[in-house]
């Protein structure tokens, strides 16, 4: 996507909204503005549309018999799943497991449960490819483990966990609930949603709108509401629903899922082009990412990544160093560090994240600019 003469390759941070999604939002916002909890006719019409969007999302993901709780995004959905489950069921056990490369919205929720609510947390290490080893998880599971949360796709290096294999292992632990943050995988990589007890995602990573997202969960899983109030969203997430936002989320998801194979093939060409350049310049770069074509992450061997990312930006090419959420405060990548790499490499990571809205010319533009700048920079 070349928008306003820029090359935007930071799609793991956020994506440009799809114009069809924006149209659907605007239309629903205008026509179905009524509060879906109101009993008058426009209220009930709005409610029907809300329920239609909910059912469509579940159907697209092949989990018709699950609940879809609309949230303000993956951060809220992760917090609701993790804290909502643990605080409701602490009488069943106080041991919980996650990985050391999760997004902060998972890691910080675990930390809060550990520091404020007395839970014992195991942070699983990942292997050199950024993937959880099944034996490592197996050795940590205990009778009092009530929750395991493992991300499907890492937001910095794109590593993909074997969610199906983990779910098979957890079948032997019926009192352990399995939560997955699918934010960077949904609509891009096929995932076994019906193997998972609860999963979270955001609309703006799939060309939807900011502040849209959902937590999808099995009916029988009970959560402590984090927001008390009027009892909307099955009493779990109170607050007047934004019907149009729900409609936009269903639409964004449908548009991505319908073209998942086509989009993947397109993006693979982009990743291969960039990886070829990186592999031809091993004296300058070390690649940190793997098979997932949506995210290419590399470290600079002898230049500062923050300086390069700023220089690329001044030259019209937008990429990230570490992840966008904490790039300002913390320049070291704990994810790249978790792969067993040096501080020097973890301080100097660059993330290029693609979308099907990009073109091969965007990638060529990146490579030409990158090659010029890396040689110019002191
Ligand atoms: N999980 C992952 C893996 C993410 O990449 C992000 C966004 N960076 C989030 C959760 C949080 O999403 P949001 O900021 O939309 O709430």
pLDDT of residue 3: 56
Q: Which of 11, 70, 75, 82 to mutate to test the pocket of ligand 1 (most atoms within 8 A of CB)?
A: 75
Residue range 2-16+259-376, CATH number: 3.90.1150.10
Q: Which two tokens stand for residue 227?
A: 């927001």
pLDDT of residue 328: 52
What beta strand segments (E) does 153-303 contain?
Answer: 177-181, 198-202, 213-218, 285-287, 295-300
pLDDT in tens, the chain (378 residues): 445 689 999 999 999 999 999 999 999 999 999 999 999 999 999 999 999 999 999 999 999 999 999 999 999 999 999 999 999 999 999 999 999 999 999 999 999 999 999 999 999 999 999 999 999 999 999 999 999 999 999 999 999 999 999 999 999 999 999 999 999 999 999 999 999 999 999 999 999 999 999 999 999 999 999 999 999 999 999 999 999 999 999 999 999 999 999 999 999 999 999 999 999 999 999 999 999 999 999 999 999 999 999 999 999 999 999 754 454 544 799 999 999 999 999 999 999 999 999 999 999 999 999 999 999 987
Spacing, Cα 25 to ligand 1 middle (Å): 22
- The CATH 3.90.1150.10 portion of the chain extends over 2-16+259-376
- The CATH 3.40.640.10 portion of the chain extends over 19-258
Spacing, Cα 76 to ligand 1 middle (Å): 9
pTM score: 0.96
Q: Please give the helix or strand (H or E) that residue 362 lies within, else none.
A: helix 360-376
Q: Which two tokens stand for residue 45?
A: 């019409």
Topology of 19-258 in CATH?
Answer: 3.40.640
Token pair 């909307």 is found at: 232
pLDDT of residue 91: 97
Q: Which two tokens stand for residue 319?
A: 């990429």
Whether residue 247 contacts residue 24, with contact meaning beta carbons closer than 8 Å, is answered with yes
194: left (phi over 0), alpha (psi -120 to 50) or beta: alpha
Pocket lining for ligand 1, CB < 6 angstroms: 73-75, 103, 105, 151, 155, 181, 183-184, 202, 204, 325
Count Cα neighbours of 173 within 13 Å in the Cβ-side half-sphere. Answer: 24
Q: Which of 71, 101, 205, 324 to mutate to test the pocket of ligand 1 (most atoms within 8 A of CB)?
A: 205
Q: Which two tokens stand for residue 188?
A: 């891009």
Q: Which two tokens stand for residue 118?
A: 């007395």
Whether residue 375 contacts residue 32, with contact meaning beta carbons closer than 8 Å, is answered with no
Question: Which residue's alpha carbon is nearest to atom 14 within ligand 1?
Answer: 75
Question: Which residue's alpha carbon is nearest to atom 7 within ligand 1?
Answer: 13
Sheet holding 295-300, edge to edge: 285-287, 295-300, 349-353
Spacing, Cα 104 to ligand 1 middle (Å): 8
Active site residues: 325
Spacing, Cα 322 to ligand 1 middle (Å): 14
Spacing, Cα 102 to ligand 1 middle (Å): 10
241 vs 257: CA distance, rounded Å: 25
Q: Which of 12, 72, 74 to mutate to test the pocket of ligand 1 (most atoms within 8 A of CB)?
A: 74
Decide the pairing of beta strands 198-202 and 213-218: antiparallel
């Amino acid at each position: 996507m070349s928008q306003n003469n820029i090359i935007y390759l930071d799609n793991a941070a956020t994506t440009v909204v799809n114009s069809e999604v924006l149209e659907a939002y605007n239309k629903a916002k205008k026509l179905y503005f009524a509060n879906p909890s109101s009993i008058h006719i426009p209220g009930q019409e709005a409610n029907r549309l809300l329920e239609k969007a909910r059912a469509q999302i579940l159907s697209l993901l092949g989990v018709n018999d699950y609940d879809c709780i609309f949230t303000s995004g993956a951060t809220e959905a992760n917090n609701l799943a993790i804290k909502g489950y643990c605080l409701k069921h602490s009488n069943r056990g106080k041991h919980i497991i996650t990985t050391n490369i999760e997004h902060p919205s998972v890691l910080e929720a675990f930390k809060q449960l550990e520091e404020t609510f007395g839970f014992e947390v195991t942070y699983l290490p990942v292997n050199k490819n950024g993937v959880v080893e099944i034996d490592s998880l197996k050795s940590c599971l205990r009778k009092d483990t009530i929750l395991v949360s493992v991300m499907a796709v890492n937001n910095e290096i794109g590593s993909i966990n074997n969610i199906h294999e983990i779910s098979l292992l957890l079948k032997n632990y019926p009192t352990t609930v399995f939560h997955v943050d699918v934010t960077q995988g949904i609509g891009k990589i096929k995932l076994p949603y019906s193997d998972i007890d609860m999963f979270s995602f955001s609309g703006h990573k799939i060309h939807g709108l900011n502040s849209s997202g959902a937590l999808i969960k099995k009916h029988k899983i009970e959560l402590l509401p984090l927001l008390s109030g009027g009892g909307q969203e099955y009493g779990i997430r109170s607050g007047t629903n934004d019907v149009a936002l729900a409609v936009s989320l269903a639409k964004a998801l449908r548009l991505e899922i319908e073209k998942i194979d086509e989009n993947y093939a397109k993006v693979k060409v982009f990743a291969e082009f960039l990886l070829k350049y990186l592999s031809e310049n091993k004296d300058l770069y070390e690649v940190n990412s793997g098979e997932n074509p949506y995210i290419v992450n590399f470290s600079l061997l002898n230049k500062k990544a923050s300086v390069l990312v700023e220089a690329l930006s001044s030259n019209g090419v937008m990429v990230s160093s570490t992840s966008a959420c904490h790039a300002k405060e913390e320049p070291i990548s704990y994810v790249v560090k978790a792969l067993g790499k040096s501080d020097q490499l973890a301080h100097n990571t660059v993330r290029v994240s693609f979308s099907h809205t990009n073109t091969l010319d965007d990638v060529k533009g990146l490579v030409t600019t990158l090659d010029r700048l890396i040689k110019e920079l002191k």
